[in-house]
Structure 1
Amino acid sequence: MAKEKKEPEKPSTAWQGTYGDMITLMLCFFVMLYDPSESDAVQMAALSASLSNNNPGGGISVSPGSLADLGNVVSALPSIEKGNKLGPAMKKAISSFAPEVKSNKITITSDERGIIISLASDSFFEEGSADINIEDSRETLLRLSKFFEAPEVAGRRWRIEGHTDNRPVTNGGVFPSNWELSAARAANVLHYLSDFGVNEQQFSIAGYADTRPKFSNDTAEGRAYNRRVDVIILDDGHF
């Protein structure tokens, strides 16, 4: 009689348990090594708000820093230091202006200059005018003036920058060019904030006309985003 062929035994899966235990232990090891103080708190605050269920809208974005392409820790130390200093200020800004961010009146970003609170010009000014629509903007400007008093930003320097799109001003109007219009809008924002109690000595102003657009001026939406007044919490190296 021919001997019956034995079926090959199924391979053991006992190793999977050991492998899983090893991966878990490695994960725990690296979690223990992680130091939250070394992360860029400015970027982390914006990412956290964007990913949370309470995300106030699309107004919060993260701009890549000048050191984003460097992988070693030594080169990244300036960015880490900035994150540690401005992280609480970013969190405070996100929580303070959630209603305005949701309605697209304000956007909050960060770059190498610091934290940028952008006021949409169309929500604060009439077209071609530097006069603030105070009835529509009073509550936002009051909230902004209170924000300057917060412990998270105490003693910091600020700059208010005016920006326009690339369309020329109306002939025969009050302003001969977008340079004067952008500077006047920045100055008027500071004047109103001063009326609400902020210390003008901590501020500087600038007008950039259409020289620093955020988006292309080829579309109406892009031009609307470019018409803005930026209130910047300055990093220590940008006074």
Structure 2
Amino acid sequence: MRRYNHGIPEQDSGTFNLSISDLMAGLLAIFILALAYFILNFSQNTAKLTQNNIVREELVTSLRDDIVQMGIKVDVDEKRGILRIPEKALFFRVGHAEVDDPATVRKIGAVLLKTLKSEKYKGKIETVFIEGHTDSDPTGAGSIYASNWELSTQRAINTWNVMKSGDNKELAELKNDVVLVNKEGQKEYMHEYVFSCSGYGETRPIAPNDAMHKSQNRRIDIRFTMVPPVEEDSDIVKSVREGMLKNEK
């Protein structure tokens, strides 16, 4: 009598293993390509940031040289991108925020306007901060300002108002060219006003607050930040981002 085998036929495990191997190899290849892109992109952005720092150092050094030629004493912090105007150049009275030498401030403003409008720096400056600083002495009974925070902020604002007056009105109209990339990978162009004012009171000294050195802390800093590099997405990264967005939906 013929017997029939009713068992389940064996599966071809070799084909299944081959499919898994192909899938893993493909995923590994995509990972390697994506990693190579990110490494390349990181290197490019690092180079751009380094170049930004070089340009900023050249900017503040050039501003200092032009201003010093007019007989105005200013200092710079090249690494931090700061043009430093000491109290002696501004003549602020103790506890007061009025600029007692507006002509000097306008001269500085004229140099700023000429330099920032030049082709060399056009589109490279993100923000110019006008920052007020004081020493640790209280504002005094005769001052209308309750704290050094208020005093330093108003000094920065008054310095800016004088700086952009007269023939320097165009300073107030300068805008940056910042490019942002949203989560969909699309570029958004931001055109914001360049100048900003702030005050830090005695919280950011550059010298000891003793009788010999504290005058150095009474100052106006003009600090420059550069437009950050824009990350350009490769086709791989765009595909990954699109896949992630689809999963979110």
Alignment counterpart, residue 172 of structure 1, candidates 120, 136, 142: 142
Q: 1:214: which partner in 2?
A: 206
Counterpart in the other structure of 1:182: 152
Contact 1:104/1:120 (CA < 8 Å) preserved in 2? no
Q: Is the 8 A contact 1:164 1:209 kept in 2?
A: yes
- Per-residue CA deviation, residues 138-170 of structure 1 (Å, 9 max, x unaligned), is 322321232222233323222111100111112
Please give the residue correspondences for 1:66-215 in structure 2 after superposition, counting only pairs within 5 Å: 80-98=47-65, 100-101=67-68, 105-111=73-79, 114-128=80-94, 129-132=96-99, 133-155=101-123, 156=125, 157-195=127-165, 196=168, 197-199=170-172, 201-215=193-207
The equivalent of 2:17 in structure 1 is none
Moved more, 202-211 or 137-146: 137-146
**1:184 positional shift:** 0.7
**Alignment check: 8 A CA contact 2:132 2:199 kept:** yes
Q: CA RMSD in A?
A: 2.8
- Classify 1:192/1:118 alpha carbon distance in 2 versus 1 (closer, same or farther; 3 Å): same
**Cα 1:173–1:108 shift into 2, 3 Å:** same
Whole-angstrom CA distance in 2 between matches of 1:78 and 1:218: 43
- Unaligned ranges ≥5, structure 2: 1-41, 174-192, 229-249
Change (3 A) 1:77 1:117: farther
Shift, 1:118, TM fit? 1.0
CA distance in 2, matches of 1:150, 1:121: 29
Q: Which moved more, 1:223-232 or 1:80-89?
A: 80-89
State the one-letter code of the partner of 2:172: N
- Give distance in 1, aligned partners of 2:103 and 2:52: 35
- Moved beyond 4 Å, runs of 4+: 75-80, 99-104
User: Do the aligned partners of 1:175 and 1:181 also contact (CA within 8 Å) in 2?
Assistant: yes
Cα deviation, residue 101, structure 1? 4.9
CA contact (8 A) 1:89 1:153 kept: no
Higher Cα Rg, which structure: 2
- The answer as to whether partners of 1:108 and 1:117 remain within 8 angstroms in 2 is yes
Instruction: Give the share of equivalent positions with the same residue, in percent.
Output: 26
The total of aligned residue pairs comes to 161
Structure 1 stretch displaced more, 191-200 or 207-216: 191-200
- Is the CA contact (8 Å cut-off) linking 1:179 and 1:208 kept in structure 2? yes
Decide which of 216, 220, 237 is 1:229's aligned counterpart.
220
Mapping of 1:11-90 within 5 angstroms? 80-90=47-57
Q: Which has the higher contact order (CA 8 A, sep 6+)?
A: 2
User: Scaled by the length of structure 1, what TM-score is found?
Assistant: 0.58
Contact 1:130–1:185 (Cα < 8 Å) also in 2: yes
Q: Distance in 1 between matches of 2:227 and 2:207?
A: 27
